[in-house]
């Protein structure tokens, strides 16, 4: 596909906040921290931030004699103000998890066998370097692909780009936020970033579409959500499941899965037909209203009722509630947005609705990021690849982010050896077998590799397939790239700094990447050696007191969250091509996609099958916290939620162990049934992240079932390459013999 617009420009404009390229390093210990207490004992208190998930809440680590005694929330943190969730509070159980990867390991058996021998770091890094050089000369540098995730992945991204490969892809895009970022960027000229700039605290009405705040715990977001409800803000929850949030809602809309766009179009229809959208705002800031008006004319609540199975009067009533509360409507853009493959268009519909309510840049709606000036080392230019990316970002998937890449595109390219062979994967901070759907495909890709290097804290299943395993220090033992949170209402810089020295022979990610750079002769891309050096450079234009930053963990700046606060230096309000909110998207039109979102039916479950839906529990993060002893004690396995009537029809009862089989015959580990009226009859829900298959995770092994293993199909979003994952169907097998895993 030939694309006649400036992609680079699109993404330069649209990357909202949060990510800064650069470098960090380790500090001498013994900074002047304020004293803390453990019981009656004086201890040192280190301010850092959490990595039990990606929200990076402020943490205080109480340390005595080189041991972290306790973690608690850091009251000085501008975003989380001393609050910390169950996972954050349980961080020491990750630090002291006896199953941690302790030493560099070299594979000693067959791939998948999990047999390794302990080697030294020198051996490990020499081996890694030699293999990379060999692959480079044999297949070119592009044959090496990086699968990064998380803050510290910055170092590996820099390393790999310097090495000469454009192939890096993280699940945060194509398995998570990608469609949302693209959908909002198409409309407003910029995406949302993380933390999400949703002004829950000031909202009069909160709208959640599939977002399950409460089970999905990002501390400050939960706080703002709860405070808003307590203040009297109304709540609309669209979810086929009676979630924690739904139980607090004024309107719970148990939508038929896959029909969200129909609901959104009907809401838009009512707002326009009844003239209750924000007319001044639209007249001033938006283009494309006439096209939108005629597009949605036929999408009445009555039309939507037959599709969504939601009563037309409820659709109308909720639209009226939005019209009344505007612009203080916090329509949450969601986070994990890869559902049905039409996800960019659903995000577009949400963005359009947000615009009609005048909420973007308004108090109680979506606030604006505040740019912070940071210092940067000048790095040599990265080598340009003549062969281009293998994952389809920018070509097959025209609006995929080149910064974040398309994981599934890279997996497919590895399997096919096209457009060129991919022979090595470097995996950092994620478990590719759980984070990317179509596990069998991922395993097929791994079979094609000459080299799989895994940098991880715990022996996740993928470690069994690795040639080289590099044990990383946990977030409590390392420096990471400081967080520059521009998308927070009060923007801030926050440090992640070690509370203690790394245990065993684990090493921080930055150190591993820096060492590799030295061995590969790429020192110029890592022009720093101490944390002071790097931090000083980064913060040069910020005028922060570094001593204060280290002691408090974070320093905040004044935000300019609303349109009326904006300064000229903040750049254009709506950095789209037209400089206006694009209700109608000329860019999508140009690329051959619908310029206005349309509802296209998704396949229904076949008879006897449920649609598999999934989500989070408040005490676990992804598939990475199940081996944490404290969290395991709170929730050691997931359950299959089945509607009461459906369970009766199937003759399954509460607590009964069943096996789930999907449309392609993939089977789950045994999972217990939760019989509940809190879910629609046509879907089955489970919490993501369970059913670990690594025996080395002694606590988590074979507890509960993995939803990812039942995702043998995906519906790829043609606009940006995201994998819609809610297109898998499962039936319930009650005969456990037949359901045994092979």
Partner 1 sequence: MARYAMVIDLKKCVGCQACTVACNSEWEVPIGHARTHVRATSVAGNFPNLLSTFYVAQCNHCDHPACIALCPTGATYQAEDGIVKVDRGLCIGCGYCVEACPYEARYINPVIKKVDKCDFCSARLERGQEPACVETCTGHAKFFGDLEDSRSDVFKMVYEQGAGRLETSEVAIGPNVYYLGKKEHVNLVLTEFPPHRPRMPEAGTVWEKVVKPLVLAAVGVTFLGQAAAFFRQLMKGESLFEDEGEK
Residues that bind partner 1 (CB under 8 A): 37-41, 70-73, 82-90, 92, 213-215, 217, 219, 222-223, 225-227, 229-230, 242, 244-248, 252, 254, 618-619, 629-631, 633-634, 643-644, 676-678, 680
Smallest distance from the beta carbon of 631 to partner 1, in angstroms? 8
Smallest distance from the beta carbon of 249 to partner 1, in angstroms? 10
* Secondary structure (DSSP) of 76-113: T-TTTTT---HHHHTHHHHHT-TTS--S-EEE-SSTTT
The Cβ of residue 629 has, within 10 Å, a number of other Cβ atoms equal to: 15
For residues 326 and 281, give the distance between their C-alpha atoms in angstroms, rounded to a whole number. 11
Angle at 669 between CA 663 and CA 671, to 5 degrees: 95
* Minimum CB distance to partner 1 smaller for 70 or for 624: 70
* Minimum CB distance to partner 1 smaller for 23 or for 213: 213
| Whether 418 contacts 28, CB under 8 Å | no
* Minimum CB distance to partner 1 smaller for 129 or for 644: 644
| Whether 310 contacts 304, CB under 8 Å | yes
3-state helix, strand, coil in the chain (%, to 5): 35, 20, 50
For residues 470 and 27, give the distance between their C-alpha atoms in angstroms, rounded to a whole number. 22
Cis ω for the linkage preceding 195 (within 30 of 0): yes
For residues 690 and 701, give the distance between their C-alpha atoms in angstroms, rounded to a whole number. 9
Smallest distance from the beta carbon of 218 to partner 1, in angstroms? 9
β-partners of residue 611 are 683, 729
Smallest distance from the beta carbon of 36 to partner 1, in angstroms? 10
Smallest distance from the beta carbon of 211 to partner 1, in angstroms? 13
Smallest distance from the beta carbon of 697 to partner 1, in angstroms? 17
* Minimum CB distance to partner 1 smaller for 60 or for 556: 60
| Whether 727 contacts 664, CB under 8 Å | no
Smallest distance from the beta carbon of 680 to partner 1, in angstroms? 8
* Minimum CB distance to partner 1 smaller for 515 or for 625: 625
| Whether 267 contacts 319, CB under 8 Å | yes
Smallest distance from the beta carbon of 568 to partner 1, in angstroms? 37
For residues 485 and 188, give the distance between their C-alpha atoms in angstroms, rounded to a whole number. 20
| Whether 232 contacts 569, CB under 8 Å | no
Smallest distance from the beta carbon of 206 to partner 1, in angstroms? 13
Smallest distance from the beta carbon of 695 to partner 1, in angstroms? 21
Tokens of 248: 């607090």
Rounded CA Rg of the chain: 25
* Minimum CB distance to partner 1 smaller for 305 or for 391: 305
For residues 147 and 162, give the distance between their C-alpha atoms in angstroms, rounded to a whole number. 16
Smallest distance from the beta carbon of 172 to partner 1, in angstroms? 23
User: Cα separations (Å) of 303 from 252, 299, 310, 586?
Assistant: 19, 6, 10, 27
* Minimum CB distance to partner 1 smaller for 86 or for 453: 86
* Minimum CB distance to partner 1 smaller for 565 or for 676: 676
* Minimum CB distance to partner 1 smaller for 631 or for 714: 631
For residues 560 and 538, give the distance between their C-alpha atoms in angstroms, rounded to a whole number. 22
* Minimum CB distance to partner 1 smaller for 247 or for 736: 247
For residues 456 and 462, give the distance between their C-alpha atoms in angstroms, rounded to a whole number. 10
- The 10 Å CB-count burial string (b at 16+, else e) for 702-721 is bbbbbbbbbbbbbbbbbbbb
The Cβ of residue 125 has, within 10 Å, a number of other Cβ atoms equal to: 21
Smallest distance from the beta carbon of 43 to partner 1, in angstroms? 12
* Minimum CB distance to partner 1 smaller for 40 or for 137: 40
Tokens of 706: 């993995």
Angle at 125 between CA 119 and CA 129, to 5 degrees: 135
């Amino acid at each position: 596909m030939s694309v006649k617009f400036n992609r680079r420009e699109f993404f330069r404009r649209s990357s909202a906040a949060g990510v800064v390229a650069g470098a960090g390093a380790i500090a001498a210990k013994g900074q002047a921290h304020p004293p803390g207490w453990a019981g009656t004992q004086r201890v040192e208190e280190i301010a850092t931030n959490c990595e039990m998930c990606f929200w990076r809440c402020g943490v205080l680590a109480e340390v005595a004699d080189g041991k972290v005694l306790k973690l608690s929330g850091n009251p000085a943190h501008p975003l989380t103000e001393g609050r910390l969730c169950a996972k954050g509070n349980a961080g020491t159980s990750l630090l002291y998890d006896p199953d941690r990867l302790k030493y560099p390991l070299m594979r000693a058996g067959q791939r998948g066998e999990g047999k390794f021998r302990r080697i030294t770091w020198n051996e490990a890094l020499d081996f890694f370097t030699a293999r990379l050089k060999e692959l480079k000369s044999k297949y070119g540098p592009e044959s090496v692909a990086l699968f990064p995730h998380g803050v510290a992945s910055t170092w590996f991204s820099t390393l790999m780009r310097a090495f000469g490969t454009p192939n890096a892809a993280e699940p945060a895009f194509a398995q998570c936020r990608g469609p949302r970022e693209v959908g909002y960027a198409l409309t407003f000229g910029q995406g949302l970033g993380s933390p999400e700039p949703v002004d829950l605290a000031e909202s009069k009405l909160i709208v959640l579409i599939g977002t399950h705040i409460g089970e999905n715990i990002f501390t400050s977001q939960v706080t703002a959500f709860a405070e808003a409800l307590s203040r009297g803000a109304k709540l609309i929850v669209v979810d086929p499941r009676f979630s924690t949030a739904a139980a607090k809602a004024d309107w719970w809309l148990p939508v038929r899965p896959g029909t969200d766009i129909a609901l959104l179009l009907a809401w838009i229809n009512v707002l326009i037909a009844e003239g209750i959208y924000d007319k001044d705002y639209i007249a001033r800031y938006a283009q494309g209203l006439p096209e939108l008006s005629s597009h949605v004319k036929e999408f009445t609540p009555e039309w939507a009722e037959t599709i969504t199975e939601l009563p037309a009067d409820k659709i109308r009533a909720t639209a009226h509630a939005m019209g009344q509360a505007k612009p203080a409507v916090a329509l949450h853009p969601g986070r994990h947005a890869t559902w049905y493959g039409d996800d960019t268009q659903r995000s577009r519909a949400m963005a359009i609705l947000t615009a009609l309510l005048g909420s973007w840049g308004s108090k109680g709606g979506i606030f604006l990021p505040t740019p912070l000036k940071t210092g940067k080392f000048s790095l040599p230019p990265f080598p340009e690849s003549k062969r281009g990316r293998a994952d389809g970002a920018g070509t097959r998937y025209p609006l995929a982010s080149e910064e974040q890449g398309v994981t599934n595109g890279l997996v497919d390219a590895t399997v096919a050896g096209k457009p060129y062979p991919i022979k090595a994967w470097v995996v950092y901070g994620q478990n590719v077998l759980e984070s990317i759907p179509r596990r069998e495909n991922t395993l097929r890709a791994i079979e094609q590799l000459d080299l799989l290097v895994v940098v991880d804290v715990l022996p996740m299943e993928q470690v069994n397939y690795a040639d080289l395993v590099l044990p990383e220090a946990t977030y409590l033992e390392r420096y990471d790239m400081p967080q520059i949170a521009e998308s927070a209402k009060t923007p801030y810089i926050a440090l992640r700094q070690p509370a203690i020295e790394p245990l065993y022979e684990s090493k921080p990610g930055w150190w591993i990447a820096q060492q590799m750079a030295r061995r590969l002769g790429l020192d110029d891309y890592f022009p720093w050696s101490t944390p002071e050096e790097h931090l000083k450079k980064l913060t040069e234009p910020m005028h922060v007191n570094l001593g204060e930053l280290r002691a408090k963990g974070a320093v905040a700046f004044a935000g300019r969250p609303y349109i009326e606060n904006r300064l000229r230096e903040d750049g254009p309000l709506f950095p789209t091509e037209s400089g206006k909110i694009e209700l109608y998207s000329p860019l999508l039109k140009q690329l051959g996609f619908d310029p206005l979102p349309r509802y296209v039916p998704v396949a229904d479950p076949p008879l006897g099958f449920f649609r598999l839906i999934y989500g989070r529990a408040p005490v676990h993060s992804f598939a990475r916290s199940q081996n944490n002893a404290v969290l395991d004690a709170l929730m050691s396995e997931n359950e299959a939620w089945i509607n009461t009537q459906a369970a009766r029809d199937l003759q399954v009862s509460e607590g009964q162990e069943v096996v789930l089989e999907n449309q392609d015959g993939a089977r789950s580990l045994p999972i217990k049934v939760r019989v509940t009226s809190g879910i629609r009859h046509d879907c089955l829900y489970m919490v993501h992240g369970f059913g670990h298959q690594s025996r080395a995770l002694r606590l988590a092994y074979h507890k509960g079932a993995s939803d990812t293993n039942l995702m043998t199909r995906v519906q790829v979003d043609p606009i940006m390459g995201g994998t819609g994952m809610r297109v898998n169907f499962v039936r319930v097998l009650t005969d456990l013999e037949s359901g045994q895993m092979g």
